Amino acid sequence: MATLTDKKRAKTQSIGRPAAELIFGDLWAFDPAPETADPKLKARYDLFIGGKFVAPAAGKYFDSINPANETKLAEIAHAGVADVDAAFVAAQKAFVTWGKMPGKERAKHIYRIARLLQDRAREFAVAETMDGGKPIKESRDFDVPMAAAHFFYHAGWADKLDYVAPGRKVAPLGVVGQVIPWNFPLLMMAWKLAPALAMGNCVVIKPAETTSITALKLGEILQDAGLPAGVVNIVSGFGDTGAAVMNHPIAAKVAFTGSTEVGKIIMRSLAGTEKKMTMELGGKAANIIFDDAPLDQAVEGIVNGIFFNQGHVCCAGSRLLVQESVADQVLAKLKQRIKVLRVGDPLDKNTDLGAINSKEQLGTIQRLVAAGVKEGATLFQPECKLPAKGYYFRPTVFSDVAMSHRIAREEIFGPVLSVLTFRTLEEAVEKANNTAYGLSAGVWTDKGSRILKMSTELKAGVVWANTYNKFDPTSPFGGYKESGFGREGGRQGLLDYCKLI
């Protein structure tokens, strides 16, 4: 009979042994599997103000570029101050009726939006992939369905607002100014619009300049849903347009999702005003692997945590903290796993990593990766052929990373993972919390008590247990510290769009 010592020795030897690897070479190549649905793109997209598509007052347009092949997709209207003024005036006028409309009537409009989005799901998925560079399987299976789910969920709340704050009555704020980022254009729009509309607010929203197409296409759905004119107004443009939205005197509240740097600028500009604010900013999340974790499952969670949407995720698990006793084993399994990730055409259904969103973002990733190499971290990238045109970057893993390295401190917003080790739970907590951010974290362990302890010790708005990047409209999402404040989703998210009376 094997003794306990024999079992420990066998376990130690198995950990030290190289992980088994299947090598097929080029014998199992994938045939191309292109998505063929028609995205129904227009050559030019105007602003959506007062229920109609209107040309910008100054007549300015800019190009929206497909990051996968650097071709022009469409011309997008550039809203100026006069256009933003017109949008807020339209929203203020619409609020007189929309804010007083019975919740069950508002719910009908929001339900229609959700259903129409479902009806045109494949069209929107293709448009989202072409405009942003993310793989079609992510747009198709996550972005669009989750956007519809947010409209469905908040439509259900619209006639139940007496239960949002038990013991208190709620009322809408008025007109809300919103700015959304380029990493999840349609989904972020749903996150922002759905709770605001359910609560009875009207909205002026600005999409990111590199990914405006699906936002403006949603204007078509708003028309088809019969949403009263002016309830939602969409103004596209650059930073000047966003600043005009955030600083407009009619806005009773502003909501921003984007970088911490821009969030700080907005907060400084609004200091001393009576505007309510919610900010969902950057992150540098820790994905923590304990020695009793299901390692194969954890590796899949690591891959999903950092390579989903090319790492263009504010809550990406960009810091991997692994307990020392299994660090070599996890790293070996991780390297094998990313060797088979497919990088390439986002419209191919076999693609795992699509294109980086823009040339500028690709440059940022390249600079930070170069800094990691210069500071002494060990770089690993799988061998894979990248397309000749477009903005692409290989999945990247850095080992031998120290907390002082830039790649461990700064948000890269790309497919780059920094691996650090720890010995004790206390050290894991200390390293995970040693960041200016506090948006999310992941914990992988077999012990429920350890999960509960970590969830109270980690300074993060969301803590996932034995999974990563799981979202639901019923669950609030948001951060602490320089990751922002306020919540989106769930009852808590609705509370940020109302006043208590």
Q: Residue 324: CB partners within 8 Å, gap ≥ 6?
A: 421, 422, 423
Q: Token pair of 347, please? A: 């419209």
β-pairing, 378-380 vs 396-399, is antiparallel
Q: How many other C-beta atoms lie within 10 A of the C-beta of residue 268?
A: 9
384 is catalytic: no
Give the whole-angstrom CA distance, residue 180 versus residue 184: 9
Give the whole-angstrom CA distance, residue 495 versus residue 473: 14
Give the whole-angstrom CA distance, residue 457 versus residue 448: 14
Q: Token pair of 374, please? A: 């210069």
In three-state secondary structure terms, 348 is: strand
Hey, what's the torsion of the CAs at 384, 385, 386, 387, to 10 degrees? -150
430 is catalytic: no
Q: Token pair of 87, please? A: 């949008």
The enclosing H or E element of 232 equals: strand 232-234
Nearest to 412 by CA among 284, 301, 281: 284
- Greatest CA separation for the chain: 85
State the residue for tokens 């097929």: 24
Provide the β-strand partners of residue 276.
Answer: 253
Q: Token pair of 475, please? A: 């669950």
Q: Residue 242: CB partners within 8 Å, gap ≥ 6?
A: 179, 206
Q: Token pair of 15, please? A: 């950990």
Residue 48 CA to its chain's centroid (Å) = 24
Give the whole-angstrom CA distance, residue 89 versus residue 83: 10
Angle between helix 144-157 and 121-132 (nearest 10) = 120
203 close to 175: Cβ distance less than 8 angstroms? yes
Catalytic residue among 280, 457, 482, 488: 280
Catalytic residue among 128, 202, 314, 488: 314
Catalytically active residues, by annotation: 280, 314
